[in-house]
Amino acid sequence: SQKIEQNSEALNIQEGKTATLTCNYTNYSPAYLQWYRQDPGRGPVFLLLIRENEKEKRKERLKVTFDTTLKQSLFHITASQPADSATYLCALDMMDSSYKLIFGSGTRLLVRP
Amino acid sequence: GAGVSQTPSNKVTEKGKYVELRCDPISGHTALYWYRQSLGQGPEFLIYFQGTGAADDSGLPNDRFFAVRPEGSVSTLKIQRTERGDSAVYLCASSSTTGALGDTQYFGPGTRLTVL
């Protein structure tokens, strides 16, 4: 069956450390993989997109890797801040007719001051 | 407008009633999506519009759910004979131009639907 898995347990880290979130998928062949941030009571906000032929993408303190052999993406936030506390969702961008996103269930990140 | 807006922000209804949820996409965005998000889960695709037409409605759970976008901008998600299991946050998203692969989807704040 098709699955997207993200750690269901919250990730709790100290301010200044690097947060690493994992997204694993099975029986999908996404063209792109996207990461979104979601705060309570709000809709997801786009952060980064990485293509299937890219290994790594960076944007400021954010870094995403994409390994299509392992079917895994890692999302890193360096020098984390309490304001980074949120739920982070990975989403597969399928090369089909609707370009719909298929989301994982998200991982909650808590950054302690 | 500056972003995607959705109304109402909260809707409480009784089992068996009919509800309409409205989405105003970013001006000029031709692609519009509806997703449903249950507590502790990621958004789940419902339907995709390109312009006025529903290009993919494969995510609608059953025929009680219907959506329209008559003029290619505002969309309304309609749910008939609501059931308690329909309780969730309904999210709308839009993307620019053709809604092509890799286009960023911009989400609204959602409508929280509670069916008693």
End-to-end, the C-alpha distance of chain A in Å comes to 41
Best CA proximity match to B21, nearest among B55, B56, B47, B53: B47
Mind listing the pLDDT tens digit for each residue in A45-61?
A: 999 999 888 989 999 99
Predicted pLDDT of residue B79:
98
Query: What's the mean pLDDT in B54-61?
Result: 93
Mind listing the pLDDT tens digit for each residue in B2-14?
A: 899 999 999 999 9
Chain A contacts in chain B segment 83-112 (CB below 8 A):
91, 93, 95, 99-110
Residue of B104 and A14 predicted with greater confidence: A14
Best CA proximity match to A19, nearest among A30, A7, A34, A32: A7
Closest in A43, A99, A105 to B103, CB measured: A99
Mind listing the pLDDT tens digit for each residue in A64-105?
A: 999 989 999 999 999 999 999 999 999 998 766 667 889 999
Q: Check A42 against B31: CB less than 8 A apart.
A: no
Closest in B41, B58, B108 to A105, CB measured: B41
Predicted pLDDT of residue B64:
98
